[in-house]
Structure 1
Amino acid sequence: MVATQTWRAAPAPTRRRRFPGLLPRRLLRWRRPVWWQEIAIIAVGYWLYSLVRNAIPEQASIATRHARSIQHVQDALHLNFERSFNHVVATNEWLAQILNYYYATLHFIVTPAVMVWLFVRRSHVYRGVRTVLVTTTLVALAGFALYPLAPPRLMPEFAYVDTLVKFHTWGSLASPAVAQHSNQYAAMPSLHIGWALWAGIAIFACARHRWVKALGLAYPLATLVVIVGTANHFLLDAVGGALAVTLGFGVQYALSGRGAFTAPIDAPDFGEPDPPLPGAHGGVRGPSVD
């Protein structure tokens, strides 16, 4: 008879963590997320985000002055290749339209899709990863308020081409009906990059198959190409978005005392063997992820 080896969950560690987290222990215990509560939280959160973002004074003159400063810094750092790439995109309508619609749509499709995926397939880490996303968004809102910034496409003095206007992309900020309800000077940090990095890291950390992990890594890189090619953001805006995500993970760790992708030590055993979650304590496992 051939002996079969089964993977078993390791017992919870008895030693105390070096940093227990700022939240009370009772709030850090395992609780399965409830779908209607999560929908309500997300809906209210997005409504507040839209309300606050669009209520921030646009301050066009200040935003334009900040844009000049950002451009000068990028020139000094020899990061002015984005203007050349923008011109390449602007001379190829098919490419510009693909990038424009990517910018206008995937930002609002991929992020909630990843949240649903985590809720269903990685409920052990869902709350921690959601905290990272919420914190990232709040950091971005603070950036919009404290540092209004005009995007490159609104700075014709630097020879950027507004591909949204040139090719009349449907549903974009080039439409007056859309632009009048949105703060066009909320560019620093780039929330497109912030959310894309959040989604990409979550996919890479939680997916099982390598090709899915590769898609997770490719998504924020593709988003970077899009925001530069369409002149919706400076490269330094993308750096700001990456810093916002980093702060999001830092705040999540400070609150819980564990990494965003580490399952609570009292999480239940779901039956079928599955590899430990990234950073988990020796053997806490969750449902499989495809």
Structure 2
Amino acid sequence: MGESTVTTLEGQEQAPPQPVADEAHGSAGHRLLRRLRTPRRPRLWFEILLIGVSYWTYSLIRNAVPEQRTQALENADWLWKMEHHLGIAVEESVNHAVNSVTWLIVGMNYYYATLHFVVTIGVLVWLYRSHPGRYAATRTVVFATTGVALVGYYLYPLAPPRLMNGNDFIDTVVVHQTWGSMASGDLKSMSNQYAAMPSMHIGWSLWCGLTIFALASVPWVRVLGLLYPVATLVVIVATANHFWLDAVGGMACLAFGYLVARLWYGVLPYALPQQVPLKVPQKVPPKA
């Protein structure tokens, strides 16, 4: 037999309500853990505050990590040689080929500068409005992914291809004078120049793509979700902001984020109920 569901006025199915009496069973620690893991309707003011403070903290820590220019350049040289050894060192060719098409590379510069934030925030808003039961768990994936990325920035400083010595990579933002990467032009003093590994452009875009693919109901939207991280990968390479292997680092961080959410909630975020389960108050039997 399958589980019963509760249908709301809007016609959406919810997970079966859990009686309040169930919370009386088990130790106090188990009851607290159960309450913390139970999906709750997110509060708008708290989510805005949490995301704002978290991004500010992320930026502060990322930019406070010592740039370690010499080590970052040495790591970039080693990584570039490793890619040659693996036969995947095509970043310079892609960079030059796309740079020769002005309208395309200018569009990619703006893509790199804006969609990283716009799409991620847009997906969070969509989750908040349409999937409140899955919102907290899916947001946890982003937070855990970003947190472990900070460890990578600290332990493995890495220069992006455009800053390498002795190579012919083109800094497309500087050449075409577009407003782009925080690590180029007049904005470079505001950002750590040597925090290329892992790529959070890939970590966040892949999270967006997987979330859209898993939860969207319109087929062509699901396809766009899968194409978004692919397009982002092309952009970060064409603009000489990352190596291919930086993207692998971003994917590894995202896998860690999903693991954290899976361990905490017991299931992957997308398997949680779409709506927040209702609580049914316990009926107190009449006194004899």
* Interval of TM-score (by shorter of Structure 1 and Structure 2): 0.7 to 0.9
Partner of 2:168: 159
Quote the Cα distance in structure 1 between the aligned partners of 2:184 and 2:230. 27
Asked if 1 retains the 8 angstrom alpha-carbon contact of 2:95 and 2:169, the reply is yes
**1:96 matches 2:105:** yes
**1:261 matches 2:278:** no
Offset at 1:62?
0.5
Partner of 1:127: 136
Asked if 2 retains the 8 angstrom alpha-carbon contact of 1:12 and 1:266, the reply is no
Question: Cα distance 1:114–1:83, how it changes in 2: closer, same or farther (>3 A)?
Answer: same
Partner of 1:240: 249
Letter in 2 for 1:47: W
Partner of 2:238: 229
Bigger radius of gyration, 1 or 2?
2
Q: Per-residue displacement from partner, 1:244-267 (whole Å, max 9, x unpaired)?
A: 100100011111211111225994
State the secondary structure of the residue aligned to 1:180. helix
Quote the Cα distance in structure 1 between the aligned partners of 2:239 and 2:274. 45
Alignment match of 1:106 (pick from 98, 104, 115)? 115
Partner of 1:36: 45
Partner of 1:280: none
Asked if 1 retains the 8 angstrom alpha-carbon contact of 2:113 and 2:180, the reply is yes
Asked if 1 retains the 8 angstrom alpha-carbon contact of 2:14 and 2:277, the reply is no
Offset at 1:158?
2.4
Q: Give unmatched runs, 5+ long, in structure 1.
A: 1-5, 14-20, 270-290
State the secondary structure of the residue aligned to 1:172. coil
**1:204 matches 2:208:** no
State the secondary structure of the residue aligned to 2:110. helix
Q: Per-residue displacement from partner, 1:169-223 (whole Å, max 9, x unpaired)?
A: 1253465431001001110000000000011111111100101101100100000
Letter in 2 for 1:220: P
Aligned length: 257
Partner of 2:27: none
Give me the TM-score of the superposition, normalised by structure 2: 0.84
Question: Cα distance 1:170–1:66, how it changes in 2: closer, same or farther (>3 A)?
Answer: same
Offset at 1:10?
7.3
State the secondary structure of the residue aligned to 1:158. coil
Letter in 1 for 2:194: Y
Question: Cα distance 1:266–1:29, how it changes in 2: closer, same or farther (>3 A)?
Answer: farther
State the secondary structure of the residue aligned to 1:32. coil
Quote the Cα distance in structure 1 between the aligned partners of 2:159 and 2:50. 31
Give me the TM-score of the superposition, normalised by structure 1: 0.83
Offset at 1:68?
0.4
Alignment match of 2:91 (pick from 73, 82, 89)? 82
Offset at 1:42?
0.4
**1:187 matches 2:196:** yes
Quote the Cα distance in structure 2 between the aligned partners of 1:190 and 1:8. 38
Question: Cα distance 1:54–1:8, how it changes in 2: closer, same or farther (>3 A)?
Answer: closer
Alignment match of 2:78 (pick from 44, 69, 77)? 69
Alignment match of 1:249 (pick from 253, 258, 268)? 258
Q: Percent identity over the alignment?
A: 50
**1:139 matches 2:148:** yes
Question: Cα distance 1:265–1:24, how it changes in 2: closer, same or farther (>3 A)?
Answer: farther
Asked if 2 retains the 8 angstrom alpha-carbon contact of 1:164 and 1:174, the reply is no
Quote the Cα distance in structure 2 between the aligned partners of 1:35 and 1:79. 44
Quote the Cα distance in structure 2 between the aligned partners of 1:85 and 1:9. 48
Question: Cα distance 1:143–1:25, how it changes in 2: closer, same or farther (>3 A)?
Answer: same
Q: Which sits farther off after the overlay, 165-174 or 41-50?
A: 165-174
Question: Cα distance 1:26–1:266, how it changes in 2: closer, same or farther (>3 A)?
Answer: farther
Between structures 1 and 2, the one with greater helix share: 2
Asked if 1 retains the 8 angstrom alpha-carbon contact of 2:261 and 2:268, the reply is yes
Asked if 2 retains the 8 angstrom alpha-carbon contact of 1:12 and 1:265, the reply is no
Question: Cα distance 1:7–1:100, how it changes in 2: closer, same or farther (>3 A)?
Answer: closer
Q: Give unmatched runs, 5+ long, in structure 2.
A: 1-10, 19-29, 279-288
Partner of 1:48: 57
Letter in 1 for 2:214: A
